Amino acid sequence: MNLYQINAEIMKAFDDAVDPETGEIVNEEAFAALDELSVERDTKVENILLWIKNLLSDAEQLKAEKMAFDERKKKVEKKAESLICYISSALDGQKFETTKVTASWRKSEVAVFDGDIETLPDEFKRYVKPEVNKTELKKALKAGVVIAGAHLEKKNNLQIK
């Protein structure tokens, strides 16, 4: 959905320069042609900023749609799990077969540990790789704490409204 009308020359120049699958610039000459368009600089900048707003709006709509689908998926999976519990109880280990569907049972084994994990030998434990807590690291650096390999970096982030 386009919230704004974008100059077709600008869109064509950009589309010619970018891989439609990855969004990466693959044709530097076509990308350079964007600078050479006979469109006034302010008009070009305005159109590109509006295009960015359109794309970010599309991304938000897709995110919301994805979340809605994820929620629907969870509900359907829970319903299927409930039906599996019901039919498992109803069949009680018996095989069932019609021309449309078959239900059978297979044996499996699973390791269960309900003791104290601290007493378990290390070869039976799995450790998660640690990750940096950037929020706390930033607070410490701002407070003047010197940490090897860490520093504050100033950035200039574009805001489009």
Q: Tell me the mean pLDDT in the region 138-147.
A: 94
Q: Which pLDDT does position 158 carry in this prediction?
A: 72
Q: Tell me the mean pLDDT in the region 132-144.
A: 94
As a whole number of Å, the end-to-end CA separation of the chain is 18
Q: What is the pTM for the complete model shown?
A: 0.60
Q: Tell me the mean pLDDT in the region 130-141.
A: 94
Rounded CA gap, 77 and 85, in Å?
A: 12
pLDDT of 1 strictly over 60: no
pLDDT of 139 strictly over 90: yes
Cβ atoms < 10 Å from Cβ of 91: 13
Q: CB neighbours of 6 closer than 8 A, spacing ≥ 6?
A: 47, 50, 51, 54
- pLDDT band at 160, cuts 50/70/90? low
- pLDDT band at 7, cuts 50/70/90? confident
pLDDT of 103 strictly over 90: yes
pLDDT of 3 strictly over 60: no
Range from 5-14, 35-44, 140-149 that averages highest in pLDDT: 140-149
Q: Token match 């707003």: residue? A: 53
Q: CB neighbours of 152 closer than 8 A, spacing ≥ 6?
A: 138, 141, 142
Q: CB neighbours of 40 closer than 8 A, spacing ≥ 6?
A: none
Which residues partner with 103 through β-bridges?
96
Q: What is the mean pLDDT of the chain?
A: 87
Q: CB neighbours of 17 closer than 8 A, spacing ≥ 6?
A: 25, 26, 27, 28, 30, 31, 33, 34
The two three-digit tokens of residue 147, written as one number: 């940490």
pLDDT of 2 strictly over 70: no
Measured at the alpha carbon of residue 46, what is the angle toward residues 41 and 50, in degrees to the nearest 5?
Answer: 150
